[in-house]
Amino acid sequence: MRNSLKIERAKLNLTQQDLADKIGVSRQTINSIEADRYVPSTELALKMSKIFSCTVNDIFSLDEAD
Amino acid sequence: MKEEDYIRVLFPNYFKKIGLGLIVLAVLTAIILSLCRFNIFAHGNFVFREGFFCLLVIGMFLYAFSKEKNEDERLSAIRNRVMTYTFYVGVSVTLTITILNIFLKSNSNNQGDYKAIDLIFLMFCFYIFLFITEKRK
């Protein structure tokens, strides 16, 4: 699973902590998602898509290996 | 964010400090007693030994199962994974000691000092160590 969270965050000029506060998780969780160490739940993915005003598919996409 | 079921079963965050306090108390008591040349692990000092381990295990229990300041779904996933590994360790250690006892032909009344509280202590040590390590990744 790949994601463009870092890019989307940069577009809105949000820090990891800002995004974490907006969706109610820790900064480490955002960091883990960006580093592909953790795949978020549907609920969290939907919250992110709402913040970035895009679809979940725009942020997350499947790898060829998935 | 609504409080999920997995978070609701954990103790509040301040229990972590209480747990840590109990662990420190148990360790300090053991150190002070050993400085006074009193060995709590000696055979005759059953009450002190069991008391030490009880205090330690209660402290570790509160420390391990209280919420982090920012408990979220990632920490829940880590808890689940760490709990599984801890269970594997518990089963492995119990089976290893049992099999060793069979080969060493010990009878059930003479299984050394291995007791349930020792196993729980070992499992909590492993759980806390692994949880802290995984959390920091």
| A-chain residue closest to B77, CA distance | A38
Alpha carbon of B80 to those of A50, B34, B76, B77: distances in Å? 28, 38, 6, 5
Distance from CA of B70 to the nearest CA of A (A): 6
Cα–Cα distance, B52 to B131 (Å, whole number): 24
Residue B135's closest CA among B71, B46, B66?
Answer: B71
Q: A51 — contact with chain B (CB < 8 Å)?
A: no
**pTM for this predicted structure:** 0.85
Q: Nearest C-alpha of chain A: how many angstroms from B87?
A: 23
What's the complex ipTM?
Answer: 0.87
Sorted by sequence, the CB contacts under 8 Å of residue B33 that are 6+ apart come out as B39, B40, B48
CB contact under 8 Å between B72 and A25, yes or no, is: yes
The 8-class DSSP code of residue A54 comes to S
Give the pLDDT confidence of A13-63 residue by residue, as tens digits.
Answer: 999 999 999 999 999 999 999 999 999 999 999 999 999 999 999 999 988
Environment class of B54 (CB within 10 Å of its CB; exposed 0-12, middle 13-18, buried 19+): middle
Q: At what angle do helices A27-34 and A16-23 cross, to 10 degrees?
A: 110
User: How far apart are alpha carbons A55 and A60 in whole angstroms?
Assistant: 9
Query: What pLDDT, in 10s, does the model give residues B3-54?
Result: 566 677 899 999 999 999 999 999 999 889 888 877 777 777 778 888 888 9
What is the full DSSP assignment across B33-86?
Answer: HHHTT--TTSTT-HHHHHHHHHHHHHHHHHHHTB--TT--HHHHHHHHHHHHHH
Buried b (16+ CB within 10 A) or exposed e, B118-132: ebbbbbbebbbebbe
